[in-house]
Amino acid sequence: MRVDAIQLTRDLIRCPSVTPQDAGALDVVQGALDGLGFTCYRLPFGEGADRVDNLYARLGTASPNFCFAGHTDVVPAGEQNHWQNDPFGAEIRDGAIFGRGASDMKGAIAAFVAATSEFIEDAADFTGSISFLITGDEEGPAVNGTIKMLDWLTEKGEILDYCLVGEPTNPGKVGDMAKIGRRGSLNGRLQVRGTQGHVAYPHLADNPIPRLVRILDGLLARDFNDGNDHFQPTNLEIVSVDVGNGASNVIPEMAEARFNIRFNNAQNDDDLQQWVRSVCDGVGGNYSLEMRASGDAFLTPPGILSGLITDAVSKVTGRVVELSTSGGTSDARFIKDHCPVSEFGLVNQTMHKVDECVRLDDLAELTAIYREILTSFFKGKK
């Protein structure tokens, strides 16, 4: 039974699965995979409002196990009247499907399934397994999704040999870029406290703003200059400075700043946190600091998986893929502890935007590329 990628994409978009709501999206995926003979496991984690549903599905029991990973949850649509069509209507217009999640990443999930249906129709006797690791918690906190599913797989003795994540990696055309790693991300929230007072009597107050400025200056003074063959340099960005003071004659009690560090594999989370605290301690005073990391940088060195992507793209589109570690983060940061992982999906120009869309031609190309990857991977494994 062949699956139509266009119809499946539309069915998925019509499920308003804004994190952590599933809204039937995983039922749609499971229904398609059930029809292809997959054994499906629904894996809800968390309690109450934090509860998230997830899906693991596998066809076959032998190794190697090639896994497609992704997420059915989406970010909010925002002001619906800013969209030309219903953001969950999946309307087709001008050769594209419009709707939240079209490019990030319901279209890629549909291409996963469609490619798999075509592959097993032509190679039903292949030796090995194909699996799907689909979460409903990628756009949110990412605590009740992929990371807990991977723990479940370990407990059950399930082994993933290679994993392809369908994040939208291409800046312009399908085949422009694949991700073979990602930088780590460290978020910081710094609050410096003083004593409120009248600006005309500074000796009776303690202004926290100068100390905050000195700390930020110390953080920004570091020149990481640590780019390498696979990673751009680490960078620290101040994203917010807030005093909350509406008066011009009052010294505030507290000043706050938020920052983010995107770091490569020359740095790690623990060392960066120690460095930030040392800068704060060097300035002194009363401060509080919260830091949260999404994981260290990682790299899947060019090899079998990137070669499969590169060759498939070349065969289907004639394009040469750039192997990159640029951009944000994804659930590949969890999967890399279990098997080699890379990311390749749709064009990312409209993700998270009003009128998010996927071109029908791009969906067809991506499906063909995924099918070619499966064909090449399982070639001769009979």
Per DSSP, the three-state class of 192 is strand
Domains in the chain: ranges and CATH? 5-182+297-377 (3.40.630.10), 184-293 (3.30.70.360)
Closest CA to 231 of 169, 289, 181, 178: 181
Q: Please confirm, yes or no, whether 372 is among the known catalytic residues.
A: no
10-residue mean pLDDT series, the chain (382 residues): 96 97 98 98 95 97 97 96 96 98 98 98 92 96 95 97 98 97 95 98 97 98 92 96 96 98 93 98 98 90 97 98 92 95 98 97 98 92 54
Rounded to 5°, the CA angle 378-31-308 comes to 20
- The confidence score (pLDDT) of residue 381 equals 57
Closest CA to 182 of 304, 323, 370, 71: 323
Q: Please confirm, yes or no, whether 121 is among the known catalytic residues.
A: no
Q: Which of 73, 158, 296, 331 is catalytic?
A: 73
- The confidence score (pLDDT) of residue 124 equals 80
CA atoms within a 13 Å half-sphere pointing along the CA-CB vector of 190 = 30
- The confidence score (pLDDT) of residue 340 equals 97
CB 167 within 8 A of CB 108: yes
CA 212 to mean position of chain CA atoms: 32
Distances 93 to 48, 356, 357, 358 between C-alpha atoms, Å: 39, 12, 10, 10
- The confidence score (pLDDT) of residue 380 equals 57
Q: Which of 53, 104, 137, 138 is catalytic?
A: 138
CA atoms within a 13 Å half-sphere pointing along the CA-CB vector of 246 = 0
In 123-253, which ranges are continuous DSSP H helix? Answer: 146-156, 209-220
In the chain, which ranges are continuous DSSP H helix? Answer: 5-13, 25-35, 107-122, 146-156, 209-220, 269-283, 304-317, 332-335, 360-377
User: Residue 177, preceding bond cis, omega within 30 degrees?
Assistant: no
CA 164, CA 341: separation in Å to the nearest integer? 6
- The confidence score (pLDDT) of residue 174 equals 98
Closest CA to 182 of 307, 366, 343, 304: 343
